[in-house]
A and B are shown apart, each in its own frame.
Chain A
Amino acid sequence: MINTLVRGTFTAREKSFRQVTDDIARPTYSNAAKWWYVAMGIATLMLLFGLWAIYTSIAVGLGTWGLNNSVAWGWDIINFVWWIGIGHAGTAFTIFLIVFRAKWAAIFNRTAEAMTVLAVACAGLFPALHLGRIWLIFFILPYPNTRGPLWVNFNSPLFWDVLAITTYLTLSLTLWYFGMLPDLATLRDRSKSKIAKAVYGFFSMGWVGSVKNWIRYEAMIKVLGGLAAPLVISVHSIVALDFAISVIPGWHTTILPPYFFVGAIFSGFAMVMTLTIFIRKLYNLQDYITIPHLESIARVLIFGSLVIGLAYLTEMFVAWYSGWEFEMFTFLKNRATGEYRTAFWIMVFCNALVPQLFWFRKIRTSIAWMLIISIIINIGMWYERFIIVVSSLSHTFLPATWTSYSPTIVDIGIYVGTFGIFFTGILLFLKYIPSIAINETKAFSKKSSH
């Protein structure tokens, strides 16, 4: 099933079960390499910068951000949407694997899910801080209170968003954790150190791999994967509704939910490609994360890029076709030829044009090109969110309210800080958890005679 002309072999070379465990679990029991400490040091510095920015935002207030009366959503919402988009890949890979039975996705699943959990946590930080008084964050929960009782507004997309993100974080964290239960048991039984044995033993919940264990586990994972499938589509669609339900030109469009969803998958897959290219090199996993595996991601990226490009064109066309001057101004003038033209054309170049290079087999099988293009895509996707948020808010109906927007050092600090959280988390993940699902690799790489 894996050994096809399109997908290639599951592992580059035939491996015994023991070899698979040894190769993938090696980082968990050997000392970390020098690069790991250097990367951890940089990530910690970024994290500290972020902590300072978060402290300033809370202690001094949101006046330290670059927001103004017109652009009331700035880097916070741009970065929120950007991180949420990246966070879509993990669950998307799970669906590819569990629902569509695309076995090539098994190689990326674990890393993509770890990335999802961290990205969604980073994303959640922005709206929480944007509340201003973060200590009152519990106001968004529907609980019996002393204000009437005044319940939350169940008709508001902002409440839907809170619920969607919370559900998504719970789901991706649980799916990630239960997905690695058999591998934690493997680490428990192989560890020489008493502490590692105790820790992996605690988290592996007494897993032995009995028939009952496996049957119930697979039944549960199938249900959880099935539940995750609609959620992946709905989370970013609901984020899009935060914009689409408003009346701001450039936001008030029905295309936004599907456009956001495809954009999320697109940026998430690009980030998985970037990360796994580093992981395969640094941990010597070239036999597992093979060129055909990465090529499969490249094919998804071509598709994503085409849909994104079509969405850009559709938006322009509908703005022109509607004949509504505010929409026409936003899309055709403000974005394409006006103040935001540089950002707009960077976005088009990075998202709609550059990934088309993957049509060439030489490019989509070249590690260097894949790395460059995947990074370009995530830069482009950041610009897309910048264009959507800032260009629309800074030039709305009344020219008297028109303004420009630029971030402050605190805005930048929080964004850099989320990278600190993300990379610290990823580095810890790579050190203590197998980055590829060991049990699934064994199951899919073996050639069964039955």
Chain B
Amino acid sequence: MQHIIGIFDNDDKVVDAIHLLKKQNIAIADVHAPFGSHHILRDLGKESRIPYGSVLSGAFAIIATFSFIYWTSVINYPLLIGGKPTFAFPSWVVTIYLMTILLTFVGTVIIFQMRTKMMFGNKAPIVHDESTDDKFIMIIEQTKDMTDQQVDKIKKLLVDQGALEVKMQDLQIA
């Protein structure tokens, strides 16, 4: 798929270009940035649902840990320690609390990796090798109904907004 690539050296220029393109109903496929510029993310991104997954992981952790301690301490091997009750909930709170943090933590990381499909050794689909250093890469898909005049208009708009370079590139964006 052909894409229009605009290379910028400043995220403020990218934000201005995003605003202008949005006004003209031109969809932006992606922006690659060397840091998480909140202005770009605010204008282009949707809120992540990862925190909901974290809440579910936490709920699972609380139930699983409580059930496990209850089963081991009350049902499976009720050990008498100084005549104290086997169902000693107050002193279980610490273990449940720690396990909730641990499992929520692990759950959140797993969900992140599942959503981003990031794994050790993955090849990075780099568009421009300076996009992790000091360049901001704006990617606009050339849709089938886009005429050559429209493509030229977008290219000109990007140049007017301060793009250092504008080019066409064949990309597969997930």
A340 in the interface (beta carbon within 8 A): no
Q: A220 and B76 in contact (CB under 8 A), knowing A185-B132, A448-B12?
A: no
Interface centre among B72, B105, B106, B131 (most CB of A within 10 A): B105
Question: What chain A residues lie within 8 Å of B124 (beta carbons)?
Answer: 185, 188, 201, 204, 206-208
Question: What chain A residues lie within 8 Å of B94 (beta carbons)?
Answer: 157, 160, 234, 238
Q: Are A208 and B98 in contact (CB under 8 A)?
A: no
State the CA gap A18–B164 with chains docked (Å).
15
- The segment from A44-52, A347-355, A374-382, A435-443 found at the interface with B is A435-443
Nearest Cβ in chain A — how far from B77, in angstroms? 6
A337 in the interface (beta carbon within 8 A): no
Q: Which residues A183-223 have CB closer than 8 A to chain B?
A: 185-186, 188-190, 201-220, 222-223
Q: Are A189 and B101 in contact (CB under 8 A)?
A: no
Question: What chain B residues lie within 8 Å of A222 (beta carbons)?
Answer: 51
Q: Are A208 and B112 in contact (CB under 8 A)?
A: no
B25 in the interface (beta carbon within 8 A): no
Q: How many residues does chain A have at the interface if contact means C-beta atoms less than 8 Å apart?
A: 65
A151 in the interface (beta carbon within 8 A): yes
Q: A211 and B106 in contact (CB under 8 A), knowing A163-B99, A190-B133?
A: no
Q: Are B133 and A189 in contact (CB under 8 A)?
A: yes
Q: Are A206 and B123 in contact (CB under 8 A)?
A: yes
Q: Are B120 and A203 in contact (CB under 8 A)?
A: yes
B23 in the interface (beta carbon within 8 A): no
Q: Are A450 and B39 in contact (CB under 8 A)?
A: yes
Q: Are A440 and B76 in contact (CB under 8 A)?
A: no
Question: What chain A residues lie within 8 Å of B142 (beta carbons)?
Answer: none
A142 in the interface (beta carbon within 8 A): yes
A159 in the interface (beta carbon within 8 A): yes
- The segment from B26-34, B143-151, B152-160 found at the interface with A is B26-34
A227 in the interface (beta carbon within 8 A): yes
B20 in the interface (beta carbon within 8 A): no
Question: What chain B residues lie within 8 Å of A142 (beta carbons)?
Answer: 68, 72
State the CA gap A18–B135 with chains docked (Å).
9
Q: Are A211 and B35 in contact (CB under 8 A)?
A: no
Contact of A189 among B46, B88, B126 (CB under 8 A): B126
Q: Are A439 and B35 in contact (CB under 8 A)?
A: yes
State the CA gap A11–B48 with chains docked (Å).
31
Contact of B120 among A149, A182, A205 (CB under 8 A): A205
Question: What chain A residues lie within 8 Å of B127 (beta carbons)?
Answer: 208
Question: What chain A residues lie within 8 Å of B97 (beta carbons)?
Answer: 230, 234
Contact of A167 among B11, B101, B130, B134 (CB under 8 A): B101
State the CA gap A341–B131 with chains docked (Å).
61
Nearest Cβ in chain B — how far from A180, in angstroms? 12
Contact of B132 among A150, A189, A215, A230 (CB under 8 A): A189
State the CA gap A442–B133 with chains docked (Å).
10
Question: What chain A residues lie within 8 Å of B99 (beta carbons)?
Answer: 163, 167
Q: Are A443 and B36 in contact (CB under 8 A)?
A: yes
A239 in the interface (beta carbon within 8 A): no
Besides A167-B102, A207-B124, 16 new A-B residue pairs in contact (Cβ under 8 A), listed by A number: A150-B79, A160-B94, A160-B95, A167-B98, A178-B112, A205-B120, A209-B32, A215-B48, A216-B48, A220-B112, A224-B105, A230-B101, A439-B34, A439-B36, A443-B35, A450-B15
Q: Which 10 A-B pairs have the closest CB atoms?
A: A206-B122, A17-B134, A219-B48, A205-B118, A151-B72, A155-B91, A439-B35, A443-B35, A215-B45, A214-B36
Can you list 26 contacts pairing A with B, beta carbon distance less than 8 Å? Answer: A17-B34, A17-B134, A18-B134, A21-B133, A155-B81, A167-B101, A170-B105, A201-B121, A205-B113, A205-B122, A206-B118, A206-B122, A207-B132, A208-B131, A208-B132, A212-B30, A214-B36, A215-B41, A215-B48, A216-B112, A219-B47, A219-B48, A219-B112, A224-B108, A443-B36, A450-B15
